[in-house]
Amino acid sequence: MKHLSPIVCLVSLLSTFVLSYHLVVGATVQTSSGAITGHAARNRTEVSEYLGIPYAQPPTGGLRFAAPQTYNSSQAFNASTYSPDCPQMGLTVPPLKYPGQTPQFASIIEDFAGGRGNAQSEDCLTLNVWTKSTESQQKKGVLLWIHGGKFTLGDTNTPFYQGQYLVDSQDIVFVSINYRLNIFGFSGAPGLTQNVGLLDQRKAIEWVRDNIASFGGDPARISIMGQSAGGSAVDYYSYTYLDDPIVAGLISHSGTALSFTPNTPEFSRSSFLTAASSLGCEGSNVLACMRSQDFQAVLNASAKVKPLPSAALAQPVFHPTVDNITVFEDYRALSAAGAFAKIPYLAGNTNNEDGFYRLSARSQNITLTPSQWALWDLEGFTCATSTTAADRAKAEVSMWRYRYFGDWPNLRLYPGSGAYHGCDLHMVFGGAEDVTGLPNTDFETWTTEYMMGAWGSFVNDPVNGLSEELFWPEYNATDYEADFDALGGSSKLVRTYSSNECNTAQQILPAAASKGFKVVLGVWPDTEASFNADTAALQSALTSEMLPQVYAITVGSEALYRASLTAQQLLSSIQSVQKMFPTVKVGTADSWNKYADGTADPLIEGGVKLLLVNAFAYWQGQQVSNATATYLDDLQQAFGHIQEIAGSVDAIEIWNGESGWPSDGGTDYGSAQAGTQNAQTFFSKAICAALDWGFNVFYFEAFDEPWKPASKGLDGSSADETHWGAFTSDRNAKFPLTC
């Protein structure tokens, strides 16, 4: 649940055959593909691993480019090895390089982008199953994985996607699948069924429905999960199989139906014929000719077809094509209309998706400015995920959304790669150490355990698991309007901290307009990436219709107090934003002592017109009986120094930018004791006194945020910040907000 206070993105079985503690690891199970014998997983020997199980007939000969056909067998099958990868040109041919790349760079890219040198074959429509014997007779939730790779590359035979660690940690069954890629899965061939790679995914899901009980899974609790193109495939699936979804839950990492633009039928047809012509396949026999060619020849021919011109990264030539059966022309309209299966959905993206995409851009001699990269991230991932989530929530679908910020030493690609595209998968699969050969940090291990637990909770109970077990609130597209309704009797002005995080600017401004509020929007200038992302979000959101709802923009929040920027650097950032939005007041917020001690003087002398002064007697460890005097003295010192430097404050708008007190459920700090009664006392005495003196005040914060991390005070010790709201998380006022 998102609120107006500082926003933290969260990141919410055995039917006919029973697995129990009596079952031997890797025991033979009966399926429609035969009697399947597995083995113990390499690093988790209590987990049974079944590899390379066929789920459809080999798509060779006359079945090349055709929809998948059912495979049945009564023969014994030793599921001891992965099948070959589906034909593809790996991203790492030739190997990618990047300035400052880390020692683990090559292994990460090879394992993620199909550069491991695995054998390839069209006989690749297989899946892998991991399960664990338990004493419980209860069926297990099932998670089916769809890999990414732009629909042109990728596989399951990689340390990135092994299910052994997740299954060992969580009481679920895990399945990963291969599906046809590039021209073999998305041929565009005239007269044929399109998007057979997506139909492969459906065929695999049907196989799992029909057979997973033999592995201890519940066919009524199958969730499908994908990343990047796989995440988009998961979302595509919800539109294609609106009335017959089979699955009970959806999980998309860094990709939805709104993330990528499908091909037009005309372009796909032309591309197929161009590839065919290069092999001498033309005229009425073009299809038969293409089916007679060696798969490597077809793959090589397809690689020579030029993509459509693009100002940024070109999309692959052979990827999903609009047929309005499996892939639709206008997903934005369909999403807004709620034309999707009403299935619980967990979706999110990483904070710095382009940290990975910069590699392929450099290899193609494509140069984008930081602002262009930020906008690219917004359009393809952050906004696509946000819009998808908002439309699901409006349709009353259980929806959870996350934003992943992890930047771990052993997973770093190069300095500044940040939380790049795909790095969050290690937290779900648990394979970071296998991929890199480097140890996790303690906090990285904790994060892995947390995310494994969250995803496992969702799989076992897609409707309630995240909310009931992890207290992760559902995403609610109407939260801002409900927030404004709750606040309406106390204020008509609110402040946010980042315009990009959780797509704040795009979502809060329309709600503010509908409820008669104005908003102070925020920009984080601490890093180039955060500054560019926030300013790009502002440029997108501040349309002529929405501009009247913006009271001001603050650049930074306690940047001087945290020493993340010098005053001159902060001033430069403020001036840059002011140039972008000349009709909007632009300023900053910082701690009272940074104004009082002269640290902020360059801002005052530089003509900044809006200064927010934060003052917390609580963080100074004061008893509530002394808090009012301390708070007012802080403000007096800051305001007095500003006036001394400026000569007059007539041209400077000065507010108390933050102040408040934690209520019941909070933690004590020094002599400052948390509690609702103390919070009410501080409000009625200190805040009301400041208002009586003529100061405008932003009360910190509007609503409780139970998921929020701890903060540090002046002495460096930490204290909880989950119960600082004037309202509870369900929008009930804790005490009268009147003076």
Where in the sequence numbering do the catalytic residues fall?
A: 558, 658
* 585-591 and 493-495 beta bridge pairing: unpaired
CA nearest to 382, candidates 358, 354, 407: 354
CA nearest to 228, candidates 188, 191, 257, 199: 257
> Whose structure tokens read 């007096």?
636
Residue type, 107: S
Q: How far apart are CA 379 and CA 75, in angstroms?
A: 49
Cβ contact 143:250 at 8 Å:
no
CA nearest to 453, candidates 438, 470, 471, 433: 470
The CA R_g of the chain, rounded to the nearest whole Å, is 28
Residue type, 62: G
Which string of DSSP letters, residue by residue, matches 603-622? HHHTT--EEEEE--SGGGT-
Query: What number of other Cβ atoms are within 10 A of residue 265's Cβ?
Result: 16
Q: How far apart are CA 160 and CA 116, in angstroms?
A: 12
Cβ contact 604:645 at 8 Å:
yes
* 550-557 and 585-591 beta bridge pairing: parallel
Which tokens belong to 566?
């010098």
* 172-177 and 126-132 beta bridge pairing: antiparallel
Q: How many residues does the chain have?
A: 739
Which string of DSSP letters, residue by residue, matches 364-424? TT----HHHHHHHHIIIIIHHHHHHHHHHHHTT--EEEEEE----GGG--STT--S-TTTT
For 285, list phi and psi in degrees, rounded to 5: -100, 15
Q: How far apart are CA 197 and CA 35, in angstroms?
A: 26
Q: How far apart are CA 440 and CA 436, in angstroms?
A: 10
For 581, list phi and psi in degrees, rounded to 5: -130, 75
